[in-house]
């Protein structure tokens, strides 16, 4: 299994059937560079490969977590998703990285930061920009997050209510959450009309669409239109990026 680090170095990992990294070998981004070293560290059952040139006060340690990068599928992506926290002008920083073929996916409205996809083929070049720029405060791995709500209905006793015929028929409800994916097939009556009467966003300049899945899942539970199976949970936005759920 090959993992391209944000520095452009490539880690070749031997992985056991259970997903555990057994051993690693490293192909430096610049094999001609003298004096470079790599720290291979086992911590909390994770294997880290950290180039000696990396400043961990600027770069998130998880960017070098080989087990995580493999398990979560980062190693199979043609890019490295990161969140860059700026100490200067975000707009200027964005232009600088876009000119290096980085693709900005989200600009935060509350904090001076933005999410960007760094092509693995440009990792070495962009890593140097990140390292040398005084306007870059911190570079975080844009982690995957999961909505783990498949047990909620049973915990609040909803199946017992359904068993005696209580299903919410005739009750109008309002959900204050991450929004609703009103385009979903299960949110329509058999005649094609929508079950969602109105949507509104209380976040400036953001639509009421559910980019995370939490609100949509809550809507499912309240409607009693949901079979709580892992397969259907995965279909209902089982995972998302951290940058997709924060403003």
| Same domain, yes or no: 63 and 174 | no
Q: What is the pLDDT of residues 111-151, one digit of tens each?
A: 899 999 999 999 999 999 999 999 999 999 999 877 665 66
pLDDT of residue 124: 94
| Same domain, yes or no: 25 and 114 | yes
Residue where a domain terminates, one of 142, 171, 200: 142
Q: How many C-alpha atoms does 55 have within 13 Å on its Cβ side?
A: 13
Residue 175's φ and ψ, nearest 5 degrees, are -120, 120
| Same domain, yes or no: 89 and 185 | no
Structural domains of the chain, count: 2
pLDDT of residue 67: 95
Tell me which residue range forms the domain holding 170: 146-244
Distance CA 105, CA 82 (A): 10
Cβ proximity of 227 and 154 under 8 Å? no
104 CB-near residues (< 8 Å, 6+ apart) = 94, 97, 98, 114, 115, 116
Cβ proximity of 43 and 203 under 8 Å? no
| Same domain, yes or no: 68 and 165 | no
pTM: 0.68
Residue where a domain terminates, one of 142, 169, 185: 142
pLDDT of residue 240: 64
Residue where a domain terminates, one of 126, 142, 158: 142
Residue spans of the chain under pLDDT 50:
225-237
Cβ proximity of 220 and 150 under 8 Å? no
Three-state DSSP class for residue 69: helix
pLDDT of residue 231: 42
Q: How many CB atoms lie within 10 A of CB 186?
A: 14
Distance CA 166, CA 154 (A): 15
Cβ proximity of 140 and 82 under 8 Å? yes
Q: Return the ∠ at Cα 210 (arms to 200 and 221), rounded to 5°.
A: 95
pLDDT of residue 168: 73
């Amino acid at each position: 299994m090959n993992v391209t680090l944000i520095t452009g170095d490539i880690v070749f990992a031997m992985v056991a059937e259970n997903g555990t990294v057994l051993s690693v070998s490293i192909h430096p981004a610049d094999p001609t560079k003298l004096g470079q070293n790599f720290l291979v560290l086992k911590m909390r059952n994770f294997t880290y490969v950290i180039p000696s040139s990396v400043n961990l006060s600027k770069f998130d340690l998880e960017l070098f977590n080989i087990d995580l990068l493999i398990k979560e599928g980062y190693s199979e992506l043609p890019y490295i998703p990161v969140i860059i926290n700026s100490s200067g002008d975000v707009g200027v920083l964005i232009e600088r990285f876009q000119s290096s073929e980085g693709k900005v996916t989200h600009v935060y409205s509350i904090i001076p930061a933005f999410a960007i996809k760094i092509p693995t083929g440009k990792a070495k070049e962009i890593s140097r920009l990140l390292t040398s720029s005084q306007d870059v405060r911190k570079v975080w791995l844009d982690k995957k997050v999961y909505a783990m709500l498949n047990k909620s209905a049973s915990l609040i006793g909803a199946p017992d209510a359904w068993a005696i015929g209580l299903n919410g028929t005739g009750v109008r409800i309002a959900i204050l959450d991450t929004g609703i994916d009103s385009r979903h097939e299960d949110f329509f009556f058999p005649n094609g009309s929508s079950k969602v009467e109105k949507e509104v966003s209380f976040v400036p300049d953001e639509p009421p669409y559910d980019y995370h899945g939490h609100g949509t899942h809550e809507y499912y539970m309240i409607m009693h239109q949901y079979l709580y199976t892992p397969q259907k949970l995965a279909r209902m936005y089982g995972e998302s990026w951290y940058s997709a759920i924060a403003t």
